Amino acid sequence: MEQALNSSGPDAFVTLDAVADLSARRFGMNWRRAGARGPAADVQIEIVQGQFSAAFDQHWNDLLSRADVPNVFMQPRVVGAAGPGRRLTALLAWEAGAAGKRLVGLWAFAIGKPHLSVLPISALCAPATDHAYLSAPVIDCDRLEPTLGAMLDIIAEAPGLPKFVALESMSGEGRTYEALIRVLQDRQSRFCQLDAKKRPMLVPGAKPESYLADALSGSSRKKLRQHRRRLGEKGRLETLVIRSAIDVSRAFETFLKLEASGWKGRRGTAILCRSDDAAFARNLVAALAQTGDASIHMLQLDGRPVSMQVVLRAGPAAYTWKTAYDEALSDFSPGMLLFEDCSRAFLTDPDIAFADSCAYDDTGYMAVWRERRVVIDLWFDARSGVSAKFSAVARVQKAYLPLRETAKRAYLGVAEIRARVQTAAASQQIVPKCGSNLPPSNDSLARACKS
């Protein structure tokens, strides 16, 4: 593991010894709350930038077994997959005990301008990488408040670290979120919630065989059966799960091409549209596949993928990270058919406690999953007490976001009208009316006029 660097510049990181001194000075006095569970113990915070060694996997896996939120996007291999151009910073919380030290918390950030910030401010931003959809720290469920308190102390006091923290898609409920709010309130630190959404989740229950039957209407289930039968009439239809590291990397290349061939490619948002995104995604999938934490579910027609789903794992949690389908077969809903197969696989896997859709909100097809996770955008100042600068920044940002959303809806509305007008104009120019004196442009048009 690469240690933090010493520097006298504005972006300096404190050394590990300095971090330990800061933690010892603040943590022991301030973070033993009444009613806290477990014996008092020293928590030391390590500030790290750079790559994690393979030996760190053991610490990470041990932490996952005790974590309140098993967030795959804080996985050291995911953070390490980012390119060297990102200013990544990880806070590691270690607890010393009779059996030696153990990892009790990990929170990774990128230093830079927060996403959608209207002001050119610098903050610790989480998630630390692009294409990540949860910013919650991974912390031992019995050490939530002491660890969060120590982490905020270090952010507040370490020279070279921004004091503002910007969390996008933070868990907006549960023990980690509640502990963070208590810590901020106890410190009298300023914080501001900017947005909140509900994201579909799947939580297996006592009767997994009836989950989809209860979640889907009878007409929807009938339509999916028809689509599956009609698609199967075109060839051999089968669902596969790719798990071995070599096969996952190969299948992911097929996924990238399939995604780029669809609407994401036309909009310029497919992973292959940006070389940095492609490099990061390949590194991420390859790294997680090495530990069995990346797999690809695939619906094939005569051996050709018609729908693909990339699934990431962190302990008992599954994350449906990316999906793509063959739009030439959209009449058969291949994406929904694979979603149905993936859901059944998750429901019958005894090692999965829940599956997170990673969806933007609950308006898409994944809303079939009945459970919901609240995710919020939360900004706060890690320092204690009143912060006039943070209050001003938060007010500006809260005023800006509704205006941006209104402008976005207006833009999309105009774009949709323009597309309809262009489509109508093109159809009038290209397709002649039946019985007119204009010659058809090709045989297919002639046949259309005769029918």
Q: What is the pLDDT of residue 39?
A: 39
> What percent of the chain has pLDDT above 70?
82
**Per residue in 369-385, pLDDT tens?**
999 999 999 999 999 98
Residue 71, number of CB atoms within 10 A of its CB: 30
H/E run at residue 335? helix 334-347
Give mean pLDDT, residues 66-93: 89
Q: What integer pLDDT is reported at residue 264 of this predicted model?
A: 92
pLDDT of residue 286: 96
- 181 pLDDT above the threshold of 90: yes
Average pLDDT over every residue of 175-188: 96
pLDDT given at position 200 = 96
Is the pLDDT at 6 greater than 70? The verdict is no
Overall average pLDDT of the 76-101 stretch? 84
- Given pLDDT bands bounded at 50, 70 and 90, which one contains residue 427? low
Q: Where in the chain is the domain with CATH 3.40.630.30?
A: 204-352
* Phi then psi dihedrals of residue 213, to 5 deg: -65, -35
Tell me the per-residue pLDDT of 21-59, one tens digit each, with 9 for 90 and over: 333 333 333 344 433 444 335 899 999 887 777 778 899
Quote the pLDDT of residue 419. Answer: 66
Q: What's the average model confidence in pLDDT over 223-244? A: 96
The single residue listed with the structure tokens 């950030």 is: 109
pLDDT tens profile 300-317: 999 999 999 999 999 999
Q: DSSP letters along 233-292, please?
A: TTS-EEEEEE-SHHHHHHHHHHHHHHHHTSHHHHHT-SGGGSHHHHHHHHHHHHHHHHTT
**Beta carbons of 71 and 314 less than 8 angstroms apart:** yes
Identify the weakest region by mean pLDDT among 30-39, 63-72, 328-337. 30-39
The CATH fold of domain 204-352: Aminopeptidase (3.40.630)
User: What pLDDT is recorded for position 84?
Assistant: 65
Q: What is the pLDDT of residues 112-126, one digit of tens each?
A: 999 888 888 899 999
Predicted pLDDT at 155: 96
Q: 237 pLDDT band (50/70/90 cuts)? A: very high
DSSP helix/strand/coil, 115: coil
Q: Which long-range contacts (CB under 8 A, 24 or more apart) does 18-26 make?
A: 18/158, 19/44, 19/45, 19/46, 19/47, 19/154, 19/158, 20/44, 22/153, 22/154, 22/157, 22/158, 23/150, 23/153, 23/154, 26/150, 26/153, 26/157
Average pLDDT of span 354-381: 93
pTM to 2 decimals?
Answer: 0.81
Peptide bond into 127 cis (omega under 30): yes
Q: How far is C-alpha 25 from the geometric centre of its chain's CA atoms?
A: 35
Longest dimension (CA), the chain: 94
Write the Ramachandran bin of 376: left for phi over 0, alpha for psi from -120 to 50, otherwise beta: beta
Write phi, then psi, for 334 (nearest 5 degrees).
-65, -30
Helix or strand (DSSP H, E) at 48? strand 43-48
Q: Which residue has the higher pLDDT, 252 or 96?
A: 252
Q: For position 440, what pLDDT does the model report?
A: 40
As a whole number, mean pLDDT of residues 201-214 equals 88
The mean per-residue pLDDT over the stretch 405-425 comes to 73
| CB-based contacts of 93-101 (< 8 A; 24+ apart in sequence) | 93/43, 93/44, 93/45, 93/46, 93/139, 93/143, 93/147, 93/150, 93/151, 94/43, 94/44, 94/45, 94/46, 95/41, 95/42, 95/43, 95/140, 95/143, 96/41, 96/42, 96/44, 97/41
Q: What pLDDT does residue 446 have?
A: 33
With 90 as the cut, is the pLDDT of residue 174 above it? yes
Does residue 11 carry a pLDDT above 90?
A: no
* Residue 149 near residue 31 (C-beta atoms within 8 A): yes
Is 3.30.420 the CATH number for 16-197+374-404?
A: no
Report the distance separating Cα 168 and Cα 170, nearest Å: 6
pLDDT in tens, 269-307: 999 999 999 999 999 999 999 999 999 999 999 999 999
Give the model's confidence band at 160: pLDDT under 50 very low, under 70 low, under 90 confident, else very high: confident
Burial group, residue 16, by CB count within 10 angstroms (0-12, 13-18, 19+): middle
Q: What is the mean pLDDT of the chain?
A: 83
